[in-house]
Structure 1
Amino acid sequence: MEPRLRLQSNWGRHALKLSSYSSTRRFVDNGGENATDSGIAGSGEYDIARNFKLTADGSFERLFENRASIDTNTQTQNPIKYTDSTVRTGAEFTVNRLTAALDFGWQKLNYSDGVAGGLIVDQDFRDRRILTGAARLDYELSPGYQLLLRASYDDRNYVLDTDSPQFNPATDLDRDSHGYEIEGGFEFALTRLLYGNVRVGYLTQNYQSGAIDTVNGITFGADLLWNVTSLTSARLTVDRRVVDTATTVSAGRLVTQYGLGVDHELLRNLIISADGQFARLRFNGLNRTDTETLAQLSVRYLMNEYLSLVLTAAREARNSPINFIDYRRNTVSLNLKLAL
């Protein structure tokens, strides 16, 4: 069950959005896996002038970690619970063909301890606060064609660091780090057939501890949509980023992810979708690279303007040099969705 509520303004100027959701999972044979994710979010936009606006958004979520996540502890009696609090603010200014934007963000992740075999499984080492700043420049060469320049910075501060009385230098890692990313690219819209963007740049993540290697290298990305026909569209996504880890022997990993999807309108009320994903996860400081794959096929039947029925079959897999990290999961689901 997954009820959602969204309220959105329709003013001529300015904008305000509020939303909330709840997602409940219940298991017939294993009640310990039952979980309910929930969250609230809000965002606003204030138009100072036609070419100048301020934005702000925030959210708070109570979540349970997916058992299939590479970061979760699968030995705990119940899924790991955590909260995710986020606040962002920004400004955007346009002069002729040039658009400039600045964004600043704050995020706090707080994990609850788990229990396995009657023993506490400590998760405090994962608690952290992340400060981010980003600048963006877009220059319109001609209608439908833009040059892109992106620069971002982040500072990741863990509660358990060398200043914490609970920190044990023999067993704990000082995971504090800061990093930046610079990307340039091109955004285009070839009529209604093909549009999106491609990007390339450089990223680095420097760790405060001299015992942890710096992560750096070329970064690249793409978001493309190709309307093959009036009934068929194809989607391509590419992304590379540095992600914090939950393993006690590595502080981060470089994740490169590729995604490909196809949607086809078989009938006006019957849509077939096929999606595939492939990701390479290279762990910092370890001779370890994992791969994750996802293949999914879904059929959506629009019963009327309010009701839709979705049948989905999916296969997930992870391959790792560490045997107990490997997993395979096949799922089939049938969902009835109501939209008001």
Structure 2
Amino acid sequence: MRSGLMVCVSALALVATATGAQAQAYRIPGDQTADFGSAMGERTGLFARGRSTGVLQRARPEWDPRGVRWQSLMLHPTVSASLTSDDNIYAKAAGQADAVVSFRPAVLAETQWARHYVSAFARLDSRSYLDHPREDAVDWAFGGNGRFDAGRGTSFQGGTSYEQTTESRTSISAPPSAAEPVRFKVAKAYVGGVKDLSRVRLVTSADVRDLKYSDVDAIGGGKIAGRDRDRVASSLNGRAEYAVSGATSVFVSLSANARKYKNGSGLDSRDSKGVDAALGASFDVTSLIRGDVAVGYSRQAYDSAAFRDVNGTSVRGRLEYFPLPQLTVSAVAAQSIEDTDFAGAAGFLLTSGQLRADYEFRRNILLSGRVGYQKNDFKGAIKRTDKRPSAGVGVTYLLNRTVGLEGGYEWLKQDSSGSEKGTNFSTNRFYLTTTYKF
């Protein structure tokens, strides 16, 4: 093991952050502002869905960090450390085990204005493997968001971010012959607007993502080119919603996208254009059940005749059940068309679902458990289907406003079938995280 082990373990006892999946109060600053998928804005009036508050969203005035006020801004600095034991760091049939020490400083700055809103964030995620240093990674991100309140029921949003990310070894797109993880940079931007007209709510947004992948060493020598995966993805989205009552609304949504690849080695063009149309409902039934469900049709058409168009049913849904004030049970499901870099297939149909329970054992002790399932059905000449069950449990203990502890276990398994099947593997991870928030 590397010489820095004792220093890192000592730091683990002093610094802190949640890994992001458990307590809302100890989420890393910037995580929420880095999600550019929606410009839905705050739901008010007949479209409000706040009759019940979930365990992770609940305010805890006696435990929540106060932040640091600087003029008209509120600053939320965080520093964290975690130790993870992973029995299969390469996601192979025969696993290689290692321990990973992570260090994550982050800061979120946001305005406290009565109208309008501006925020900015920056974060760093450094991961060191004790016995396999080629797996080390340093990821970072920074960006900002803003909202302009133009008048009653009218607002405009926008945001941008830039980040460097390391592709997980468990990702279906990760090259199995890579001697080191793939790094890539992502530039994101979005704009959107919301208009409430009594019983009618109109939402529109546009976003763009520019992804650039690095070259990596291959096992046995040579390089795996990253430029073949470079692409720009953009989308235009709209949603019109009608309030049947103060607890139920129906909506229609339409989305169009374009995906442009920057092929660098003569590959058939993977450029494509797609559309998704759906009908759905949003509801808040008594104080027990809240949800947003949509079902529709998706199609992705590829420019090259070498790739068959992909189409199918699109599903997006989230249900929350509140049987007790201290217990929140949530279920999410989705089906969509995603890109792939495998030869012979330009896209695959992704179907996923998760059931999760969060329990407030004490105001400062939160328990969680989840089970999930994902299926990747590749379309085109390639014959491959991946089935991925997963599960996890965790506990978060807030010592005071400043310090929190989190521990848990995560399991993932992949069963791949077909003539071009991928690797079958399973991973078991135990983690311990300490969080310090100012």
Provide TM-score, normalisation by structure 1. Answer: 0.94
Q: What is residue 374 of structure 2 aligned with on the other side?
A: 279
1:324 deviates by 5.0
What does residue range 103-114 of structure 1 map to in structure 2 within 5 Å? 103-114=205-216
Q: Structure 2 vs 1, CA of residues 76 and 287 (structure 1 numbering), >3 Å: closer, same or farther?
A: closer
Counterpart secondary structure, 1:79: coil
The equivalent position to 2:132 in structure 1, one of 22, 30, 36, is 30
Counterpart secondary structure, 1:227: strand
CA distance in 1, matches of 2:198, 2:366: 41
CA distance in 2, matches of 1:313, 1:87: 34
Alpha carbons 2:307, 2:344 under 8 Å: kept: no
The equivalent position to 1:244 in structure 2, one of 321, 339, 343, is 339
Counterpart secondary structure, 2:228: helix
Q: What is residue 277 of structure 2 aligned with on the other side?
A: 182
Alpha carbons 1:185, 1:197 under 8 Å: kept: yes
Tell me whether 1:259 sits opposite 2:259 in the alignment: no
| Deviation readout 1:131-186 (Å, 9 max, x if unpaired) | 210011111111121112110000000011xxxxx553xxx231000000011111
Tell me whether 1:155 sits opposite 2:258 in the alignment: yes
Q: What is residue 221 of structure 1 aligned with on the other side?
A: 316
Alpha carbons 2:110, 2:118 under 8 Å: kept: yes
Counterpart secondary structure, 1:125: helix
Tell me whether 1:121 sits opposite 2:219 in the alignment: no
CA distance in 1, matches of 2:362, 2:235: 45
1:309 deviates by 0.8
Alpha carbons 2:384, 2:422 under 8 Å: kept: no
The equivalent position to 1:326 in structure 2, one of 424, 428, 431, is 424
Alpha carbons 1:222, 1:237 under 8 Å: kept: yes
CA distance in 1, matches of 2:177, 2:306: 29
1:225 deviates by 0.9
Provide TM-score, normalisation by structure 2. Answer: 0.74
Q: Which residue identity does 2:245 align to in structure 1? A: S
Q: What is residue 299 of structure 1 aligned with on the other side?
A: 395
Q: Which has the higher contact order (CA 8 A, sep 6+)?
A: 2
Tell me whether 1:130 sits opposite 2:233 in the alignment: yes
Alpha carbons 1:219, 1:240 under 8 Å: kept: yes
Q: Which residue identity does 1:134 align to in structure 2? A: N
| Deviation readout 1:251-272 (Å, 9 max, x if unpaired) | 1111010011001122232211
Alpha carbons 1:195, 1:224 under 8 Å: kept: yes
Alpha carbons 1:72, 1:246 under 8 Å: kept: no
What does residue range 39-188 of structure 1 map to in structure 2 within 5 Å? 39-116=141-218, 117-160=220-263, 166-168=264-266, 172-188=267-283
1:73 deviates by 1.5
Q: Which protein has the bigger strand share?
A: 1
Q: What is residue 286 of structure 2 aligned with on the other side?
A: 191
RMSD: 1.3
Select between 316-325 and 121-130 the one with higher mean Cα deviation.
316-325
CA distance in 1, matches of 2:284, 2:230: 42
Counterpart secondary structure, 2:146: strand
CA distance in 2, matches of 1:249, 1:214: 12
Aligned residue pairs, count: 332
CA distance in 2, matches of 1:325, 1:249: 18
CA distance in 1, matches of 2:421, 2:205: 42
Select between 68-77 and 86-95 the one with higher mean Cα deviation.
68-77
Counterpart secondary structure, 1:32: helix
1:311 deviates by 0.8
Q: Structure 2 vs 1, CA of residues 237 and 34 (structure 1 numbering), >3 Å: closer, same or farther?
A: same
Counterpart secondary structure, 2:323: coil
Tell me whether 1:315 sits opposite 2:418 in the alignment: no
CA distance in 1, matches of 2:422, 2:386: 12
1:201 deviates by 0.6
The equivalent position to 1:15 in structure 2, one of 103, 106, 117, is 117
Tell me whether 1:5 sits opposite 2:107 in the alignment: yes
CA distance in 2, matches of 1:127, 1:108: 8
Q: Which residue identity does 1:70 align to in structure 2? A: I
Q: Which residue identity does 1:289 align to in structure 2? A: T
Query: For structure 1, which runs of at least 5 residues remain unmatched after alignment?
Result: 161-165
CA distance in 1, matches of 2:250, 2:231: 35
Query: For structure 2, which runs of at least 5 residues remain unmatched after alignment?
Result: 1-102
CA distance in 1, matches of 2:135, 2:184: 15
CA distance in 1, matches of 2:126, 2:425: 24
| Deviation readout 1:18-62 (Å, 9 max, x if unpaired) | 111111110110111000111012110111111221110111110
